[in-house]
Structure 1
Amino acid sequence: MKSLRVGVAAALVMVAGCSGSPARPEGGPLPYRPTGGCAPDLSQVQPQPLIAADAKGRVGRVDFRALAQCLTGEDGEAEPVVLFQLGDREPPFSIEVVLFADRDSALAAAVEILDGGFGTLDRHGFDSFTSRNGRFTLTTFVNDRQAGASYLLLRPDRQWLNSQMQLVSGNRWTTVWSTGAVMGAYSDGTETTQRLVLRDDGKFTVEVKAYAPKTLEISRP
């Protein structure tokens, strides 16, 4: 099954906001309400170490809001953000962010690569993620152009929040039969449809790996 790029054509239905106290979305998390003070800017947000892999090299899923801190945005609104330290890694290296859909919602995140002064070197919105098998994946590469990369920031992509999308996934199998003289094949499969509401909460993983671009060697006679 081919990967589907998330976009306007992905059966998107925008949900209009309502006045008054926000209610709990059906099947989704409560609207974000910080329990303490909010940092006025990113320099006041405590950076987190990258998620450690287990003994088998697997990176565990993390709950976004459980790890997030509150940041006051440019519009004065409070939002949950997670700031990771990239450490002293030398480029090139790759960063893979995976957002996992649950039964009826998923985290709509934007990813930013920041320098040591919290300036943005690169940004990828939720529409840059690729959807496949109930997860949204983004792989980006840090090269010499972003040599000052020091932090990785995850924050909700506001233009996608509370919108709805429909994911279609399926399995297909083929059975080969033979009578000795004649051979044939029978194919069948199943297809499932999942309707998701995009939220500022959900499970995710982040993995950073060293990256060595392949070089093409040309031998001359």
Structure 2
Amino acid sequence: MTRLATAAMLGMTALVLSGCGRQVYRATPPDLSTACVDNLAAVASRPLAYLEPKEKAQARRVEFAAVAACVRMEGTALPVALYRLDALHEPSEIDVRIVLSEGGTFAASAEVLDANFQTLRRYGFSDFARRTNEYSLSVFVDRRRPVAPTYLLLRPDPSQVGGSDTAIASQSSGFMLPGGGSYTYGTEVTRRRPLVGAGQLQVVPYPVRPIGFETEDVPRG
């Protein structure tokens, strides 16, 4: 084996070993084996409130499994997260963010429901905007409307679960050769993040200020 080939192999080995100590994230699947209810009215809802002063939006990042409940819909047990909107006294924008991860990215759908759990609006995972490390969706709600939005329902989008988020990027590496000089090589890396019915998300509402009034901006994270 030539000196160049030996050096290249050592460099590749070092790259592999450098990733061995990392803790690998895996999305936690929701538990559908117990306490499954028959309708959304029986699901324990969670209050959705504005951020407290100095509270960071990322502090509300959770596993979907940690906020999900099991409900039977159309004869099938499904995990859902049900948020109450009664604390949103002003017109509000609900910021839903999904963390992109090779250990599982939540292919979510969102529904705005009225007090009778009837769907007012629905958003599939294809309505989420893909950003660098996440997907995001902005949902506007105004509880002053005649048919007031009362709940936000999150659940897996069955048309997207089982797919993948694929991105291709170029990556270059280099190292010093014995006796001086350097060797640089490039590779094309394909990253596939599986779309699953679980993963990390954060749901944060922000009040929408009327245009023309000077107000303190609410930082988003």
Shorter-chain TM-score range: 0.5 to 0.7
Q: Which runs of 5+ in 2 are unaligned?
A: 1-24, 171-187, 213-221
* CA-CA distance at 1:33 after TM superposition: 4.7
Aligned 1:9-20 pairs, distance under 5 A: none
User: SS state of the match for residue 158, structure 1?
Assistant: coil
CA distance, structure 2, for counterparts of residue 134 and residue 54 of structure 1:
25
Aligned pair count? Answer: 171
Q: Which runs of 5+ in 1 are unaligned?
A: 1-26, 171-190, 216-221
User: SS state of the match for residue 155, structure 1?
Assistant: strand
- Alignment CA distance shift 1:89-1:146 (3 Å): farther
* CA-CA distance at 1:102 after TM superposition: 2.0
In the other structure, the counterpart of 2:36 is: 38
Show CA shifts across 1:101-143 (max 9, x none): 1234200000111111111111111000011112000012124
CA distance, structure 2, for counterparts of residue 90 and residue 204 of structure 1:
24
- Alignment CA distance shift 1:209-1:31 (3 Å): closer
In the other structure, the counterpart of 1:149 is: 149
Runs of 4+ displaced beyond 6 Å: none
Q: Aligned partner of 1:36: which letter?
A: T
In the other structure, the counterpart of 1:107 is: 106
Q: Aligned partner of 2:102: which letter?
A: R
- Tell whether the 8 Å contact from 1:51 to 1:206 is kept in structure 2 after alignment: no
Indicate the percent of aligned positions where both proteins have the same amino acid. Answer: 32
Normalising by structure 2, report the TM-score.
0.67
Show CA shifts across 1:2-51 (max 9, x none): xxxxxxxxxxxxxxxxxxxxxxxxx8557655131211110110111227
In the other structure, the counterpart of 1:68 is: 68
* CA-CA distance at 1:212 after TM superposition: 2.6
User: SS state of the match for residue 43, structure 1?
Assistant: helix
Give the aligned CA root-mean-square deviation in angstroms.
3.0
- Alignment CA distance shift 1:85-1:127 (3 Å): same
Normalising by structure 1, report the TM-score.
0.67
* CA-CA distance at 1:192 after TM superposition: 6.2
- Tell whether the 8 Å contact from 1:88 to 1:150 is kept in structure 2 after alignment: no
In the other structure, the counterpart of 2:207 is: 210
In the other structure, the counterpart of 1:10 is: none
- Higher alpha-carbon Rg: 2
CA distance, structure 2, for counterparts of residue 146 and residue 111 of structure 1:
21
- Alignment CA distance shift 1:169-1:124 (3 Å): farther
* CA-CA distance at 1:168 after TM superposition: 4.9
- Alignment CA distance shift 1:208-1:29 (3 Å): closer
- Tell whether the 8 Å contact from 1:49 to 1:85 is kept in structure 2 after alignment: yes
